């Protein structure tokens, strides 16, 4: 077993690991993307239902903007390696360890980026969102940093540790009985209290924030040939894909969904937005009932393939990461490795591949049965 905080699986010297401050100094002056976003209908969230989404709505400049904006508040996550799992997978693996991000998942990147672009009036009133848990934690944390109110609508069966953490950051929680009515209930509350909605995934600020993971991967593993990314509503996948394909178009980007939450694959196949059927997956972070208009447009343009996983494949990968790396990821966080181990991600043997360990907020009550 070797799980090291390295700059890359090839064991590049730690001298190559640059601090956020150094990286930020090298970033070219960003254009006015954030200023444009602030002018959009719906504020920074840009949630104007009248405007059809286009893959051009978020650019690499938005991602560079996001990095500068969020860096003072968030961690630079490590790229881990594990020789045993690399051998099993037949590919030189880097594990981008987003479970060590503030709040235990990458979600705080997008949330922080959105919160930092609020107008003073929006900040005065507060934020509202819907979440299975990790976006709620990210938004609650971000709201506490910018000094605004956060309201999170969640399904009642959400993971208790995620509920506790959201409350711990000072946000208010409203429960709904199912994912089906949670959107409607949230919207009623939003209108009544004039709050700004921050989508968990379908928002230019969220996508650009998640895209910063892509910038870090390219720096930490410069010879990367494949990046495998798990998708719920597709914010992380679209952010990484637009970043990586803009800077290094030859890198293969593969998305991963549980078969029991297959909205993105289904929409790509039919060519129109589709809902997941009855959601059946242990990976609660990937259980979005539909993808976003914007995320789907970006994924359709940039992503090479989206593959489906069975439940036992996700659980097997989660166990392997724990046994071989001493790292406890939540089921959603193990899905990208599962796609590599099963061969579904279609990785060329011997190539260099990054998988994302997206979150570590495990349901403690379910842990025993999962393992
Ligand atoms: C741990 C984890 N991984 C992946 C995802 C998927 O992210 P997205 O909705 O941006 O596709 C989520 C979403 O909540 C998550 O919590």
Taking only the tens place, the pLDDT of each residue in 117-173 is 999 999 999 999 999 899 999 999 999 999 999 999 998 888 899 999 999 999 999
What integer pLDDT is reported at residue 182 of this predicted model?
Answer: 86
What integer pLDDT is reported at residue 42 of this predicted model?
Answer: 31
Report the alpha-carbon angle 197-181-114, nearest 5: 15
Q: Which atom of ligand 1 is nearest to the CA of 99?
A: 1
Mutate to test the pocket of ligand 1, among 236, 267, 330, 356 (most ligand atoms within 8 A of CB): 236
Nearest CA to ligand 1 atom 16: 285
What integer pLDDT is reported at residue 6 of this predicted model?
Answer: 35
Write out the two tokens for 195.
């709050």
Task: Return d(Cα 326, Cα 214) in angstroms, integer.
Answer: 25
Nearest CA to ligand 1 atom 14: 285
Mutate to test the pocket of ligand 1, among 100, 107, 131 (most ligand atoms within 8 A of CB): 107
196 SS3 class:
strand
Helices (H) and strands (E) in the chain, counts: 16, 11
CA of 107 to the centre of ligand 1 (A): 7
What integer pLDDT is reported at residue 38 of this predicted model?
Answer: 28
Strand duo 92-97 + 79-81: pairing: antiparallel
Write out the two tokens for 32.
């006015």
Nearest CA to ligand 1 atom 7: 232
Domains with residue ranges and CATH for the chain: 4-106+203-370 (3.40.50.1100), 108-197 (3.40.50.1100)
Residues near ligand 1 (Cβ within 6 A): 105, 132, 134-135, 200-201, 210, 230-237, 285-286, 288, 330, 332-333, 358-359
Task: Return d(Cα 199, Cα 18) in angstroms, integer.
Answer: 32
DSSP annotation of 318 reads H
Q: Beta partners for 56?
A: none
Nearest CA to ligand 1 atom 1: 359
What integer pLDDT is reported at residue 179 of this predicted model?
Answer: 67
Q: Which atom of ligand 1 is nearest to the CA of 105?
A: 1
Residues 6+ apart with CB under 8 A from 6: 12, 14, 78, 79, 80, 81
Q: What is the pTM of this model?
A: 0.87
Mutate to test the pocket of ligand 1, among 209, 232, 290 (most ligand atoms within 8 A of CB): 232
Q: Which atom of ligand 1 is nearest to the CA of 132?
A: 14
Q: What's the full length of the chain, in residues?
A: 371
| 313-to-86, 167, 190 alpha-carbon distances in Å | 17, 32, 39
In sequence order, which ranges of 53-94 are alpha helices (DSSP H)? 60-70, 83-89
Nearest CA to ligand 1 atom 2: 285
Nearest CA to ligand 1 atom 6: 232
What integer pLDDT is reported at residue 7 of this predicted model?
Answer: 34
CA of 80 to the centre of ligand 1 (A): 20
CA of 284 to the centre of ligand 1 (A): 8
Strands (E) across the chain are located at 4-6, 79-81, 92-97, 127-130, 150-155, 172-176, 196-197, 226-230, 252-258, 305-309, 352-357
DSSP annotation of 275 reads B
List, for the chain, all residue ranges whose pLDDT scores fall below the cut of 70.
1-51, 179
């Amino acid at each position: 077993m070797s799980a090291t905080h390295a700059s890359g699986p090839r064991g590049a010297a730690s001298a190559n690991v640059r601090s956020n401050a150094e990286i930020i100094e090298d970033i070219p002056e960003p254009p006015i993307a954030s200023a444009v976003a602030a002018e959009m209908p719906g504020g920074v969230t840009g949630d104007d239902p009248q405007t059809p989404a286009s893959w051009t709505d978020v650019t690499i400049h938005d991602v560079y903007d996001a990095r500068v904006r969020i860096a003072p508040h968030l961690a630079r996550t490590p790229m881990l390696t594990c020789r045993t799992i690399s051998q099993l997978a037949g590919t030189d693996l880097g594990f981008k360890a987003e479970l060590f991000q503030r709040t235990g998942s990458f979600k705080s990147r997008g949330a922080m980026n959105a919160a930092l672009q609020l107008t003073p009036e929006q900040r005065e009133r507060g934020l509202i969102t819907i979440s299975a848990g990790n976006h709620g934690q990210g938004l609650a944390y971000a709201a506490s940093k910018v000094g605004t109110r956060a309201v999170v609508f969640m399904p009642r069966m959400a993971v208790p540790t995620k509920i506790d953490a959201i409350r711990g950051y000072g946000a208010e929680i409203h429960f709904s009985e199912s994912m089906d009515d949670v959107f409607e209930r949230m919207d009623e509350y939003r209108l009544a209290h004039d709050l700004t909605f921050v989508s968990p995934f379908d928002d230019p600020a969220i996508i650009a924030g998640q895209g910063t993971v892509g910038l870090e991967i390219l720096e930490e593993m410069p010879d990367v040939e494949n990046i495998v990314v798990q998708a719920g509503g597709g914010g992380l996948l679209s952010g990484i894909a637009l970043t990586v394909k803009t800077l290094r178009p030859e890198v293969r980007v593969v998305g991963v969904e549980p078969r029991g939450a297959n909205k993105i694959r289904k929409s790509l196949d039919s060519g129109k937005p589709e809902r997941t059927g009855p959601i059946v997956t242990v990976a609660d972070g990937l259980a979005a009932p539909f993808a976003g208009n914007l995320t789907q447009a970006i994924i359709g343009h940039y992503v090479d393939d989206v593959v489906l996983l069975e439940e036992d494949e996700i659980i097997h990968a989660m166990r392997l990461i724990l046994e071989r790396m001493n790292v406890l990821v939540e089921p959603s966080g193990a899905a990208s490795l599962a796609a590599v181990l099963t061969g579904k991600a279609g990785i060329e043997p011997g190539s260099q591949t990054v998988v994302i360990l997206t979150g570590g907020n495990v349901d403690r009550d379910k842990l025993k049965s999962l393992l």
